[in-house]
Structure 1
Protein backbone atom coordinates (compact mmCIF):
# COMPACT_ATOMS: atom_id res chain seq x y z
CA UNK A 1 0.00 0.00 0.00
CA UNK A 2 3.05 2.26 0.02
CA UNK A 3 3.00 2.97 3.76
CA UNK A 4 0.06 5.43 3.56
CA UNK A 5 -0.87 8.03 6.15
CA UNK A 6 -3.86 7.05 8.26
CA UNK A 7 -5.96 9.92 6.91
CA UNK A 8 -5.60 8.58 3.34
CA UNK A 9 -6.19 4.92 4.22
CA UNK A 10 -9.64 3.66 3.17
CA UNK A 11 -11.62 0.57 2.12
CA UNK A 12 -10.61 0.85 -1.54
CA UNK A 13 -6.93 0.85 -0.65
CA UNK A 14 -7.25 -2.14 1.66
CA UNK A 15 -9.40 -4.04 -0.89
CA UNK A 16 -6.67 -3.59 -3.51
CA UNK A 17 -4.03 -4.73 -1.04
CA UNK A 18 -6.12 -7.77 -0.10
CA UNK A 19 -6.51 -8.79 -3.73
CA UNK A 20 -2.75 -8.77 -4.21
CA UNK A 21 -2.12 -10.65 -0.95
CA UNK A 22 -4.43 -13.48 -2.02
CA UNK A 23 -1.97 -14.33 -4.77
CA UNK A 24 0.53 -15.44 -2.14
CA UNK A 25 -1.32 -16.28 1.09
CA UNK A 26 -4.53 -17.97 2.19
CA UNK A 27 -7.86 -16.17 2.80
CA UNK A 28 -7.48 -17.06 6.48
CA UNK A 29 -4.19 -15.15 6.66
CA UNK A 30 -5.73 -12.13 4.94
CA UNK A 31 -8.65 -12.20 7.39
CA UNK A 32 -6.18 -12.22 10.27
CA UNK A 33 -4.41 -9.18 8.86
CA UNK A 34 -7.76 -7.43 8.42
CA UNK A 35 -8.58 -8.16 12.06
CA UNK A 36 -5.28 -6.59 13.16
CA UNK A 37 -5.81 -3.43 11.11
CA UNK A 38 -9.37 -3.07 12.37
CA UNK A 39 -8.22 -3.57 15.96
CA UNK A 40 -5.53 -0.93 15.48
CA UNK A 41 -8.02 1.77 14.53
CA UNK A 42 -10.45 0.67 17.25
CA UNK A 43 -7.70 1.04 19.87
CA UNK A 44 -6.64 4.44 18.51
CA UNK A 45 -10.28 5.52 18.75
CA UNK A 46 -10.51 4.26 22.34
CA UNK A 47 -7.38 6.22 23.23
CA UNK A 48 -8.79 9.37 21.68
CA UNK A 49 -6.07 9.50 19.02
CA UNK A 50 -8.45 8.87 16.11
CA UNK A 51 -11.90 10.38 15.53
CA UNK A 52 -12.78 9.48 11.94
CA UNK A 53 -14.17 6.00 12.52
CA UNK A 54 -12.73 2.69 11.40
CA UNK A 55 -11.81 3.01 7.71
CA UNK A 56 -12.29 -0.71 6.94
CA UNK A 57 -15.32 -1.35 9.14
CA UNK A 58 -17.49 -1.99 6.09
CA UNK A 59 -15.27 -4.67 4.53
CA UNK A 60 -16.54 -8.19 5.12
CA UNK A 61 -14.22 -11.03 6.02
CA UNK A 62 -13.43 -13.47 3.22
CA UNK A 63 -15.21 -16.79 3.26
CA UNK A 64 -12.84 -19.71 3.27
CA UNK A 65 -13.03 -23.46 3.60
CA UNK A 66 -12.33 -24.78 7.08
CA UNK A 67 -9.01 -26.59 6.97
CA UNK A 68 -9.12 -30.34 7.53
CA UNK A 69 -8.52 -31.30 11.14
CA UNK A 70 -6.68 -34.57 11.51
CA UNK A 71 -6.07 -36.55 14.68
CA UNK A 72 -4.20 -39.72 15.52
CA UNK A 73 -5.78 -43.08 16.23
CA UNK A 74 -4.55 -45.02 19.31
CA UNK A 75 -2.43 -47.40 17.21
CA UNK A 76 -0.81 -44.41 15.47
CA UNK A 77 0.01 -42.86 18.84
CA UNK A 78 1.70 -46.09 19.93
CA UNK A 79 3.62 -46.28 16.64
CA UNK A 80 4.74 -42.64 16.93
CA UNK A 81 6.00 -43.03 20.50
CA UNK A 82 7.77 -46.27 19.58
CA UNK A 83 9.48 -44.52 16.66
CA UNK A 84 10.70 -41.69 18.90
CA UNK A 85 11.99 -44.21 21.43
CA UNK A 86 13.85 -46.17 18.75
CA UNK A 87 15.39 -42.90 17.56
CA UNK A 88 16.81 -42.51 21.09
CA UNK A 89 15.14 -39.12 21.39
CA UNK A 90 13.66 -39.39 24.86
CA UNK A 91 13.09 -35.65 25.24
CA UNK A 92 10.99 -35.48 22.06
CA UNK A 93 9.08 -38.55 23.22
CA UNK A 94 8.25 -36.92 26.57
CA UNK A 95 7.23 -33.65 24.88
CA UNK A 96 4.91 -35.65 22.62
CA UNK A 97 3.39 -37.36 25.67
CA UNK A 98 2.87 -34.01 27.42
CA UNK A 99 1.08 -32.63 24.34
CA UNK A 100 -1.11 -35.74 24.07
CA UNK A 101 -1.93 -35.65 27.80
CA UNK A 102 -2.71 -31.93 28.15
CA UNK A 103 -3.64 -30.62 24.69
CA UNK A 104 -0.81 -28.11 24.84
CA UNK A 105 1.11 -26.83 21.82
CA UNK A 106 4.57 -28.20 21.09
CA UNK A 107 6.21 -24.85 21.87
CA UNK A 108 4.39 -24.60 25.20
CA UNK A 109 5.81 -27.97 26.25
CA UNK A 110 9.33 -27.20 24.99
CA UNK A 111 9.41 -23.99 27.06
CA UNK A 112 8.53 -25.72 30.33
CA UNK A 113 10.81 -25.14 33.30
CA UNK A 114 11.22 -27.20 36.45
CA UNK A 115 9.13 -24.75 38.48
CA UNK A 116 6.19 -25.25 36.12
CA UNK A 117 5.57 -28.82 37.29
CA UNK A 118 4.44 -29.62 40.82
CA UNK A 119 2.11 -32.17 42.41
CA UNK A 120 1.32 -33.77 39.03
CA UNK A 121 0.15 -30.44 37.61
CA UNK A 122 1.75 -28.74 34.61
CA UNK A 123 1.45 -24.96 34.31
CA UNK A 124 1.99 -23.50 30.85
CA UNK A 125 3.24 -19.92 31.01
CA UNK A 126 4.42 -19.19 27.46
CA UNK A 127 0.99 -19.54 25.86
CA UNK A 128 -0.50 -18.18 22.65
CA UNK A 129 -3.12 -16.23 24.60
CA UNK A 130 -0.54 -14.94 27.12
CA UNK A 131 -2.59 -16.43 29.95
CA UNK A 132 -1.09 -19.18 32.14
CA UNK A 133 -3.12 -22.37 32.45
CA UNK A 134 -2.65 -25.46 34.58
CA UNK A 135 -3.51 -29.02 33.57
CA UNK A 136 -3.15 -32.16 35.73
CA UNK A 137 -1.16 -35.11 34.42
CA UNK A 138 -0.79 -38.71 35.56
CA UNK A 139 1.75 -39.74 38.16
CA UNK A 140 3.32 -42.06 35.58
CA UNK A 141 3.97 -39.21 33.14
CA UNK A 142 5.15 -36.89 35.90
CA UNK A 143 7.86 -39.41 36.82
CA UNK A 144 9.08 -39.54 33.20
CA UNK A 145 9.61 -35.77 32.90
CA UNK A 146 13.32 -34.85 33.27
CA UNK A 147 14.39 -33.76 36.75
CA UNK A 148 16.44 -30.80 35.61
CA UNK A 149 16.82 -27.36 37.12
CA UNK A 150 15.54 -24.53 34.96
CA UNK A 151 14.62 -25.35 31.35
CA UNK A 152 13.52 -28.98 31.04
CA UNK A 153 14.12 -29.54 27.34
CA UNK A 154 16.97 -28.50 25.00
CA UNK A 155 16.57 -26.20 22.00
CA UNK A 156 17.24 -29.18 19.74
CA UNK A 157 13.73 -30.45 20.49
CA UNK A 158 12.15 -28.41 17.70
CA UNK A 159 9.31 -29.49 15.46
CA UNK A 160 11.73 -30.89 12.86
CA UNK A 161 12.34 -33.78 15.28
CA UNK A 162 8.64 -34.53 15.28
CA UNK A 163 8.45 -34.08 11.51
CA UNK A 164 11.10 -36.75 11.03
CA UNK A 165 9.24 -39.15 13.32
CA UNK A 166 5.98 -38.64 11.41
CA UNK A 167 7.81 -39.31 8.15
CA UNK A 168 9.32 -42.52 9.52
CA UNK A 169 5.96 -43.78 10.74
CA UNK A 170 4.39 -42.97 7.34
CA UNK A 171 1.48 -41.25 9.10
CA UNK A 172 -0.36 -39.01 6.63
CA UNK A 173 -1.44 -35.64 8.03
CA UNK A 174 -3.59 -32.91 6.44
CA UNK A 175 -1.64 -30.18 4.64
CA UNK A 176 -0.17 -27.59 6.97
CA UNK A 177 -0.52 -29.76 10.05
CA UNK A 178 2.38 -31.22 12.02
CA UNK A 179 2.90 -30.96 15.79
CA UNK A 180 -0.57 -29.39 16.11
CA UNK A 181 -2.04 -32.82 15.39
CA UNK A 182 -1.14 -33.72 18.99
CA UNK A 183 -3.42 -30.95 20.29
CA UNK A 184 -6.20 -32.06 17.95
CA UNK A 185 -5.70 -35.66 19.03
CA UNK A 186 -6.07 -34.78 22.71
CA UNK A 187 -9.21 -32.70 22.13
CA UNK A 188 -10.85 -35.22 19.78
CA UNK A 189 -10.33 -38.17 22.11
CA UNK A 190 -11.32 -36.07 25.13
CA UNK A 191 -14.75 -35.49 23.54
CA UNK A 192 -15.12 -39.03 22.17
CA UNK A 193 -14.52 -40.36 25.67
CA UNK A 194 -17.34 -38.25 27.10
CA UNK A 195 -15.50 -35.08 28.13
CA UNK A 196 -17.30 -31.79 28.79
CA UNK A 197 -16.90 -29.10 26.11
CA UNK A 198 -16.59 -26.33 28.72
CA UNK A 199 -13.85 -28.21 30.55
CA UNK A 200 -12.09 -28.73 27.23
CA UNK A 201 -12.22 -24.98 26.59
CA UNK A 202 -10.40 -24.34 29.87
CA UNK A 203 -7.81 -27.06 29.22
CA UNK A 204 -7.01 -25.78 25.73
CA UNK A 205 -7.03 -22.15 26.87
CA UNK A 206 -9.50 -20.97 24.24
CA UNK A 207 -10.76 -17.44 24.89
CA UNK A 208 -14.04 -18.22 23.14
CA UNK A 209 -16.15 -21.40 23.25
CA UNK A 210 -16.59 -20.94 19.49
CA UNK A 211 -13.01 -22.13 18.99
CA UNK A 212 -13.66 -25.24 21.07
CA UNK A 213 -16.97 -26.13 19.40
CA UNK A 214 -15.16 -27.60 16.39
CA UNK A 215 -14.59 -30.65 18.60
CA UNK A 216 -18.19 -30.95 19.80
CA UNK A 217 -19.21 -33.37 17.04
CA UNK A 218 -16.94 -35.99 18.59
CA UNK A 219 -19.17 -36.22 21.68
CA UNK A 220 -20.77 -39.71 21.93
CA UNK A 221 -24.22 -38.21 22.62
CA UNK A 222 -24.11 -36.32 19.33
CA UNK A 223 -23.28 -39.49 17.44
CA UNK A 224 -25.99 -41.52 19.14
CA UNK A 225 -28.61 -38.89 18.24
CA UNK A 226 -28.14 -39.85 14.58
CA UNK A 227 -29.55 -43.28 15.39
CA UNK A 228 -32.22 -42.11 17.85
CA UNK A 229 -33.58 -39.11 15.95
CA UNK A 230 -33.41 -40.04 12.28
CA UNK A 231 -36.70 -40.21 10.27
CA UNK A 232 -36.52 -44.01 9.87
CA UNK A 233 -37.07 -44.64 13.58
CA UNK A 234 -40.16 -46.86 13.87
CA UNK A 235 -40.21 -47.60 10.14
CA UNK A 236 -37.28 -49.97 9.69
Structure 2
Protein backbone atom coordinates (compact mmCIF):
# COMPACT_ATOMS: atom_id res chain seq x y z
CA UNK A 1 0.00 0.00 0.00
CA UNK A 2 1.31 3.46 -0.94
CA UNK A 3 2.10 5.54 2.16
CA UNK A 4 0.33 8.82 2.91
CA UNK A 5 2.20 11.65 1.14
CA UNK A 6 -0.22 14.48 1.87
CA UNK A 7 1.51 17.84 1.99
CA UNK A 8 4.41 16.80 -0.19
CA UNK A 9 2.90 18.17 -3.40
CA UNK A 10 2.66 21.67 -1.92
CA UNK A 11 6.24 21.39 -0.66
CA UNK A 12 7.60 20.35 -4.06
CA UNK A 13 5.61 23.09 -5.78
CA UNK A 14 7.19 25.62 -3.42
CA UNK A 15 10.69 24.34 -4.22
CA UNK A 16 10.03 24.67 -7.95
CA UNK A 17 8.39 28.11 -7.75
CA UNK A 18 10.39 29.88 -5.03
CA UNK A 19 13.79 28.19 -5.28
CA UNK A 20 13.83 27.28 -8.99
CA UNK A 21 14.73 23.69 -8.05
CA UNK A 22 15.80 21.60 -11.04
CA UNK A 23 13.75 18.54 -12.09
CA UNK A 24 16.48 16.20 -10.83
CA UNK A 25 16.46 17.95 -7.45
CA UNK A 26 12.69 17.66 -7.19
CA UNK A 27 12.86 13.97 -8.08
CA UNK A 28 15.49 13.38 -5.38
CA UNK A 29 13.40 15.22 -2.76
CA UNK A 30 10.31 13.25 -3.74
CA UNK A 31 12.27 9.99 -3.32
CA UNK A 32 13.50 11.14 0.11
CA UNK A 33 9.96 11.95 1.23
CA UNK A 34 8.69 8.59 -0.02
CA UNK A 35 11.50 6.77 1.83
CA UNK A 36 10.59 8.52 5.07
CA UNK A 37 6.86 7.96 4.57
CA UNK A 38 7.36 4.23 3.98
CA UNK A 39 9.37 3.86 7.19
CA UNK A 40 6.80 5.86 9.15
CA UNK A 41 3.96 3.74 7.74
CA UNK A 42 5.61 0.70 9.31
CA UNK A 43 5.45 2.57 12.62
CA UNK A 44 1.76 3.46 12.04
CA UNK A 45 2.61 7.12 11.45
CA UNK A 46 2.37 9.45 8.46
CA UNK A 47 4.56 12.30 7.29
CA UNK A 48 1.98 14.84 8.45
CA UNK A 49 1.73 13.48 12.02
CA UNK A 50 5.25 12.02 12.43
CA UNK A 51 6.98 12.21 15.80
CA UNK A 52 10.66 12.72 16.47
CA UNK A 53 10.85 9.09 17.55
CA UNK A 54 9.31 7.99 14.26
CA UNK A 55 11.90 9.99 12.32
CA UNK A 56 14.69 8.45 14.39
CA UNK A 57 13.30 5.06 13.39
CA UNK A 58 13.55 6.11 9.74
CA UNK A 59 17.19 7.16 10.23
CA UNK A 60 17.87 3.80 11.88
CA UNK A 61 16.36 2.06 8.85
CA UNK A 62 18.68 4.01 6.52
CA UNK A 63 21.69 3.05 8.63
CA UNK A 64 20.60 -0.61 8.63
CA UNK A 65 20.44 -0.47 4.82
CA UNK A 66 24.11 0.54 4.80
CA UNK A 67 23.55 3.98 3.31
CA UNK A 68 26.53 6.33 3.45
CA UNK A 69 26.45 9.02 6.12
CA UNK A 70 26.60 11.70 3.44
CA UNK A 71 23.46 10.27 1.81
CA UNK A 72 21.66 10.07 5.14
CA UNK A 73 22.60 13.68 5.91
CA UNK A 74 21.25 14.81 2.54
CA UNK A 75 17.97 12.95 3.06
CA UNK A 76 17.60 14.40 6.55
CA UNK A 77 18.13 17.89 5.13
CA UNK A 78 15.15 17.34 2.83
CA UNK A 79 12.95 16.16 5.72
CA UNK A 80 13.94 19.15 7.86
CA UNK A 81 12.98 21.52 5.06
CA UNK A 82 9.67 19.71 4.68
CA UNK A 83 8.69 20.17 8.32
CA UNK A 84 9.82 23.80 8.34
CA UNK A 85 7.52 24.29 5.36
CA UNK A 86 4.60 22.64 7.19
CA UNK A 87 5.30 24.82 10.23
CA UNK A 88 5.42 28.00 8.16
CA UNK A 89 2.19 27.12 6.35
CA UNK A 90 0.37 26.40 9.60
CA UNK A 91 -0.02 22.72 8.76
CA UNK A 92 1.86 21.73 11.94
CA UNK A 93 2.47 23.47 15.24
CA UNK A 94 5.83 21.82 15.91
CA UNK A 95 8.90 20.54 14.05
CA UNK A 96 9.67 16.89 14.87
CA UNK A 97 12.95 17.05 12.95
CA UNK A 98 14.33 20.05 14.85
CA UNK A 99 16.50 18.09 17.30
CA UNK A 100 17.59 15.18 15.10
CA UNK A 101 21.35 14.70 14.92
CA UNK A 102 22.90 15.01 11.47
CA UNK A 103 25.43 12.24 10.71
CA UNK A 104 28.87 13.73 10.20
CA UNK A 105 29.80 12.86 6.63
CA UNK A 106 33.04 11.11 5.81
CA UNK A 107 35.49 13.69 4.54
CA UNK A 108 36.63 12.52 1.14
CA UNK A 109 38.83 14.30 -1.35
CA UNK A 110 37.42 14.64 -4.86
CA UNK A 111 38.87 12.28 -7.43
CA UNK A 112 40.74 13.95 -10.25
CA UNK A 113 43.01 13.16 -13.18
CA UNK A 114 46.60 14.24 -13.62
CA UNK A 115 47.36 16.83 -16.28
CA UNK A 116 48.99 14.17 -18.46
CA UNK A 117 45.90 11.95 -18.14
CA UNK A 118 43.61 14.79 -19.23
CA UNK A 119 45.89 15.42 -22.23
CA UNK A 120 45.77 11.72 -23.13
CA UNK A 121 41.97 11.80 -22.90
CA UNK A 122 41.73 14.80 -25.25
CA UNK A 123 44.19 13.27 -27.72
CA UNK A 124 42.11 10.08 -27.85
CA UNK A 125 38.93 11.90 -28.95
CA UNK A 126 39.48 12.48 -32.72
CA UNK A 127 38.58 9.56 -34.96
CA UNK A 128 41.07 8.22 -37.57
CA UNK A 129 41.12 9.97 -40.96
CA UNK A 130 39.47 6.99 -42.68
CA UNK A 131 36.67 6.73 -40.10
CA UNK A 132 33.00 6.79 -41.10
CA UNK A 133 31.09 10.09 -40.87
CA UNK A 134 29.23 8.83 -37.80
CA UNK A 135 32.44 7.93 -36.00
CA UNK A 136 34.07 11.19 -37.04
CA UNK A 137 31.14 13.15 -35.59
CA UNK A 138 31.26 11.07 -32.38
CA UNK A 139 34.90 12.10 -32.00
CA UNK A 140 33.96 15.74 -32.52
CA UNK A 141 31.26 15.48 -29.87
CA UNK A 142 33.71 13.91 -27.43
CA UNK A 143 36.40 16.53 -28.04
CA UNK A 144 34.05 19.52 -27.79
CA UNK A 145 32.44 18.15 -24.61
CA UNK A 146 35.70 17.27 -22.84
CA UNK A 147 37.31 20.59 -23.80
CA UNK A 148 34.37 22.46 -22.29
CA UNK A 149 34.20 20.30 -19.15
CA UNK A 150 37.91 20.64 -18.45
CA UNK A 151 38.56 24.20 -19.65
CA UNK A 152 35.43 25.73 -18.10
CA UNK A 153 34.61 23.46 -15.14
CA UNK A 154 31.01 22.88 -16.21
CA UNK A 155 28.62 20.46 -14.57
CA UNK A 156 27.26 17.80 -16.92
CA UNK A 157 23.75 19.28 -16.69
CA UNK A 158 25.14 22.67 -17.69
CA UNK A 159 27.08 21.16 -20.57
CA UNK A 160 24.22 19.21 -22.10
CA UNK A 161 21.82 22.15 -21.88
CA UNK A 162 24.13 24.48 -23.85
CA UNK A 163 22.56 25.94 -26.98
CA UNK A 164 24.26 26.71 -30.27
CA UNK A 165 23.29 30.35 -29.86
CA UNK A 166 25.21 30.58 -26.57
CA UNK A 167 28.45 29.62 -28.34
CA UNK A 168 28.06 31.61 -31.54
CA UNK A 169 30.69 34.22 -32.38
CA UNK A 170 34.16 34.76 -30.95
CA UNK A 171 33.33 35.36 -27.29
CA UNK A 172 36.09 34.60 -24.78
CA UNK A 173 33.58 33.72 -22.06
CA UNK A 174 30.34 31.77 -21.78
CA UNK A 175 27.28 32.60 -19.69
CA UNK A 176 26.12 29.49 -17.83
CA UNK A 177 22.95 29.01 -15.80
CA UNK A 178 23.77 26.72 -12.89
CA UNK A 179 22.06 25.38 -9.79
CA UNK A 180 19.20 27.44 -8.43
CA UNK A 181 19.10 29.48 -11.64
CA UNK A 182 22.34 31.27 -10.71
CA UNK A 183 24.26 32.60 -13.70
CA UNK A 184 28.01 32.88 -13.99
CA UNK A 185 30.64 33.62 -16.63
CA UNK A 186 33.16 30.87 -17.40
CA UNK A 187 36.21 31.10 -19.68
CA UNK A 188 36.39 29.56 -23.14
CA UNK A 189 39.81 28.35 -24.24
CA UNK A 190 40.94 28.65 -27.85
CA UNK A 191 40.98 24.87 -28.23
CA UNK A 192 37.46 24.59 -26.81
CA UNK A 193 36.15 27.21 -29.26
CA UNK A 194 37.79 25.41 -32.19
CA UNK A 195 36.30 22.05 -31.15
CA UNK A 196 32.86 23.63 -30.74
CA UNK A 197 33.04 25.32 -34.16
CA UNK A 198 33.94 22.03 -35.84
CA UNK A 199 31.01 20.26 -34.21
CA UNK A 200 28.57 23.06 -35.00
CA UNK A 201 29.58 22.97 -38.67
CA UNK A 202 29.06 19.19 -38.82
CA UNK A 203 25.65 19.46 -37.12
CA UNK A 204 24.40 22.48 -39.06
CA UNK A 205 21.95 20.39 -41.12
CA UNK A 206 20.33 18.88 -38.01
CA UNK A 207 18.65 22.15 -37.18
CA UNK A 208 18.92 21.45 -33.44
CA UNK A 209 18.98 24.34 -30.97
CA UNK A 210 21.35 22.34 -28.76
CA UNK A 211 25.11 22.12 -29.05
CA UNK A 212 24.93 18.43 -28.11
CA UNK A 213 21.65 17.14 -29.61
CA UNK A 214 20.23 13.75 -28.81
CA UNK A 215 18.83 11.21 -31.24
CA UNK A 216 15.84 13.51 -31.43
CA UNK A 217 17.48 16.82 -32.49
CA UNK A 218 14.83 18.80 -30.62
CA UNK A 219 16.13 17.36 -27.34
CA UNK A 220 19.61 17.52 -25.78
CA UNK A 221 21.83 14.46 -25.46
CA UNK A 222 21.10 12.35 -22.39
CA UNK A 223 23.57 11.83 -19.58
CA UNK A 224 23.64 8.10 -20.35
CA UNK A 225 24.59 8.73 -23.99
CA UNK A 226 27.44 10.98 -22.93
CA UNK A 227 28.66 8.43 -20.38
CA UNK A 228 29.01 5.88 -23.19
CA UNK A 229 31.10 8.34 -25.23
CA UNK A 230 33.34 9.09 -22.24
CA UNK A 231 33.75 5.35 -21.56
CA UNK A 232 34.94 4.71 -25.12
CA UNK A 233 37.37 7.63 -25.09
CA UNK A 234 38.78 6.50 -21.76
CA UNK A 235 39.52 3.04 -23.13
CA UNK A 236 41.30 4.51 -26.16
CA UNK A 237 43.35 6.74 -23.85
CA UNK A 238 44.41 3.77 -21.73
CA UNK A 239 42.54 5.01 -18.64
CA UNK A 240 40.29 2.99 -16.38
CA UNK A 241 36.72 4.05 -17.28
CA UNK A 242 35.75 3.53 -13.64
CA UNK A 243 37.84 6.61 -12.80
CA UNK A 244 36.09 8.78 -15.38
CA UNK A 245 32.98 10.90 -15.07
CA UNK A 246 32.02 14.45 -15.98
CA UNK A 247 32.41 15.39 -12.32
CA UNK A 248 35.96 14.02 -12.27
CA UNK A 249 36.80 16.42 -15.10
CA UNK A 250 35.23 19.27 -13.12
CA UNK A 251 37.35 18.27 -10.11
CA UNK A 252 40.41 18.13 -12.36
CA UNK A 253 39.67 21.66 -13.60
CA UNK A 254 39.53 22.95 -10.02
CA UNK A 255 42.51 20.99 -8.75
CA UNK A 256 44.80 22.00 -11.60
CA UNK A 257 43.83 25.66 -11.30
CA UNK A 258 44.71 25.70 -7.60
CA UNK A 259 47.92 23.80 -8.25
CA UNK A 260 48.98 26.59 -10.63
CA UNK A 261 48.20 29.36 -8.15
CA UNK A 262 44.52 30.25 -8.67
CA UNK A 263 42.72 32.07 -5.86
CA UNK A 264 40.10 30.09 -3.93
CA UNK A 265 37.52 32.88 -4.19
CA UNK A 266 37.98 33.07 -7.96
CA UNK A 267 37.60 29.29 -8.14
CA UNK A 268 34.32 29.55 -6.21
CA UNK A 269 32.99 31.94 -8.86
CA UNK A 270 34.15 29.74 -11.73
CA UNK A 271 32.55 26.63 -10.24
CA UNK A 272 29.33 28.41 -9.34
CA UNK A 273 29.39 27.42 -5.67
CA UNK A 274 26.96 29.43 -3.53
CA UNK A 275 29.12 28.89 -0.44
CA UNK A 276 32.92 29.00 -0.40
CA UNK A 277 32.86 26.16 2.15
CA UNK A 278 31.96 23.88 -0.76
CA UNK A 279 35.04 25.06 -2.65
CA UNK A 280 37.36 24.57 0.31
CA UNK A 281 37.48 20.82 -0.25
CA UNK A 282 40.06 21.62 -2.92
CA UNK A 283 42.46 23.18 -0.41
CA UNK A 284 44.20 19.80 -0.11
CA UNK A 285 46.09 20.97 -3.19
CA UNK A 286 47.15 24.20 -1.52
CA UNK A 287 48.14 22.32 1.63
CA UNK A 288 50.44 20.03 -0.36
CA UNK A 289 51.94 22.98 -2.24
CA UNK A 290 52.64 24.79 1.05
CA UNK A 291 54.23 21.66 2.49
CA UNK A 292 56.53 21.43 -0.52
CA UNK A 293 57.38 25.13 -0.24
CA UNK A 294 58.36 24.73 3.43
CA UNK A 295 60.41 21.61 2.64
CA UNK A 296 62.23 23.41 -0.17
CA UNK A 297 62.76 26.84 1.41
CA UNK A 298 62.69 26.73 5.22
CA UNK A 299 66.23 26.77 6.68
CA UNK A 300 65.47 24.11 9.29
CA UNK A 301 64.04 21.83 6.61
CA UNK A 302 67.15 22.36 4.49
CA UNK A 303 69.37 21.65 7.49
CA UNK A 304 67.49 18.43 8.19
CA UNK A 305 67.94 17.36 4.59
CA UNK A 306 71.68 17.99 4.77
CA UNK A 307 71.98 15.90 7.94
CA UNK A 308 69.92 13.04 6.53
CA UNK A 309 71.99 9.88 5.88
CA UNK A 310 72.27 8.34 2.43
CA UNK A 311 69.53 5.81 3.20
CA UNK A 312 67.03 8.64 3.42
CA UNK A 313 66.18 8.02 7.10
CA UNK A 314 67.12 10.23 10.07
CA UNK A 315 69.72 8.91 12.55
CA UNK A 316 68.18 6.49 15.01
CA UNK A 317 67.56 7.63 18.57
CA UNK A 318 68.60 5.44 21.48
CA UNK A 319 65.60 3.94 23.21
CA UNK A 320 66.77 5.11 26.66
CA UNK A 321 67.43 8.68 25.53
CA UNK A 322 65.49 11.29 27.49
* TM-score class, shorter: 0.7 to 0.9
Q: Distance in 2 between matches of 1:174 and 1:210?
A: 28
CA RMSD after TM alignment = 2.7
Q: Which residue number corresponds to residue 97 of structure 2? A: 56
Q: Which residue number corresponds to residue 131 of structure 2? A: none
Bigger RCO of structures 1 and 2 (CA < 8 A, at least 6 apart)? 1
Q: Which residue number corresponds to residue 212 of structure 2? A: 153
Q: Distance in 2 between matches of 1:65 and 1:183?
A: 21
How many residues are treated as equivalent by the alignment? 233
Q: Which residue number corresponds to residue 165 of structure 1? A: 233
Contact 1:123 1:135 in 2 (8 A): yes
Q: Which residue number corresponds to residue 175 of structure 2? A: 123
| 1:17-166 paired onto structure 2 within 5 Å | 17-22=58-63, 23-52=65-94, 54-86=95-127, 88=136, 89-117=139-167, 119-125=171-177, 127-145=178-196, 146-147=199-200, 148=204, 150-155=209-214, 156=221, 157-166=225-234
**1:8: how far off?**
3.1
Contact 2:40 2:55 in 1 (8 A): no
Q: Which residue number corresponds to residue 201 of structure 1? A: 268
Q: Any gaps of 5 or more consecutive residues in structure 1? A: none
Q: Which residue number corresponds to residue 189 of structure 1? A: 256
Q: Which residue number corresponds to residue 14 of structure 2? A: none
Whose helix proportion is higher, 1 or 2? 2
**1:44: how far off?**
2.8
Q: Distance in 2 between matches of 1:68 and 1:196?
A: 19
Contact 1:95 1:106 in 2 (8 A): no
Q: Which residue number corresponds to residue 24 of structure 2? A: none
Q: Deviations over 1:48-82 (max 9, x none)?
A: 44321x21221211133233422111221121112
Instruction: Please say if 1:13 is aligned against 2:81.
Output: no
- Distance change >3 Å, CA 95–CA 30, structure 1 → 2: same
Structure possessing the higher radius of gyration over alpha carbons = 2
Q: Distance in 2 between matches of 1:198 and 1:174?
A: 31
Question: TM-score of the superposition, structure 1-length normalised?
Answer: 0.85
Q: Any gaps of 5 or more consecutive residues in structure 2? A: 1-38, 128-134, 215-220, 305-322
Contact 2:140 2:195 in 1 (8 A): no
2:282 to 207, 210, 215: 215
